[in-house]
Amino acid sequence: MQPPDAAFRRLHLLYILHDVLCFLAVKFKDPQHAKGQLRCEDSAFETLKTHAMLLAQLAACSKNEGRPGRTATLDFVRRILTVWHKLSILDPDTCSKLETKCEEASNIPWNSLQQKLEADEAQAVLDEQRRREEARKWMLPIQHQLPHDSTAAWHELPAANALLQKRTQGYPLRAGDLPMGGYRLRNGGRLADESLKAEVAELHKEALRCFDKYTDADEVQDIDAMGNIIWKDRPTRNFWGFEVGS
């Protein structure tokens, strides 16, 4: 005779998304549908999961909304999360974190939950921007050129272009042989792999030594007759930055 509480209306919307997620999760495991009879972009499926996870927290919030004697919605949301875990819609860690968030949502007023979710969404957007910026930083350029200048003169190009010419053509270096904008990189336009990231981080760490105000005596083992500083972690490194024998 009376319309359902707002929390149960939100729960009803969650059940609709729940049905769609379960349908897709089950059908994707069916070999017949996996061959192409049923198609769903991964990005669409992830977006649907993101909205469902948000709606789960909204549906769990029933503090000060229900009439006396009404059952809270948290138990129903927990049952849904159990199915998501069983069907591998969410991984165990994400499902556990979402259950904790839903329990927190069930104990705070609606206005407080809205403010919390808005803050979480803003932080998620900021984290995604930082992730993209970090990924963009490790995107290798197409050519070994000056940033934002593909027409730089040969004497303005990064020195590695001349080193490549020396290794491939020998001396003397010929300015006319340097291609416009510098040599193309082998993996240009691709993300750097983990080994390259580690090498760059190590090189950056060692380059920062030039800003050291002093050298800790414990870091230095000896100085040979040629004046090469022998470091504990990198033996026979000389002051040119090259290793003997390389």
**pLDDT computed for residue 167 by the predictor:** 77
Give me the count of residues in the chain.
246
Closest CA to 3 of 56, 60, 57, 65: 65
At residue 82, the pLDDT reads: 92
| Predicted local confidence at residue 68, as pLDDT | 45
Judge whether 83 and 18 are in contact, CB under 8 Å: yes
- Cβ proximity of 88 and 29 under 8 Å: no
Per-residue pLDDT at 158: 77
pTM (global) more than 0.75: no
Low-confidence residues of the chain, pLDDT below 70? 29-40, 63-71, 213-225, 227-246
Q: What pLDDT does 80 receive?
A: 92
Q: Which long-range contacts (CB under 8 A, 24 or more apart) does 143-149 make?
A: 143/181, 143/182, 143/183, 143/184, 143/185, 143/188, 144/182, 144/183, 144/184, 144/185, 145/181, 145/182
CA angle 71, 75, 77 (to 5 degrees): 120
Task: Write down the domain spans for the chain.
Answer: 6-135, 138-211, 214-246
Question: Burial, 53: exposed, middle or buried (Cβ in 10 Å; 0-12, 13-18, 19+)?
Answer: buried
**pLDDT per residue over 113-153, tens digit each?**
888 888 888 888 888 888 888 777 787 777 777 777 777 77
CA distances from 141 to 136, 186, 190 (A): 10, 10, 8
**Do residues 124 and 61 lie in contact, with contact meaning Cβ atoms separated by under 8 Å?**
no
The pLDDT assigned to 211 comes to 75
